[in-house]
Structure 1
């Protein structure tokens, strides 16, 4: 019986999908953050290489 209750809870969590959307937005936020950091790093590196030529 406990397993059916667990599965029902899991189903309701997926239906409400607050948990899912929260984790997705967190992943997207971190991905945006890291891509911005890498972009800044490469732009600075490219500028420095261009200047120091």
Structure 2
């Protein structure tokens, strides 16, 4: 889900896990701007990090 879609879904009451492999500060800011969101830094193409 992209940064443009996350606020729309949050407005509908959905909870979000914001993820990025490299843009840590941007991911944290996005998560902080959404109700009930958390940020997780990981490269989800790496199986060990995706757990």
**What range describes the TM-score normalised by the shorter chain of this pair?**
under 0.3
TM-score relative to the length of structure 1: 0.26
Higher share of residues assigned helix: 1
Comparing both structures, which one devotes a greater share of its residues to strand? Answer: 2
Structure possessing the higher radius of gyration over alpha carbons: 1
TM-score normalised by L of structure 2: 0.27
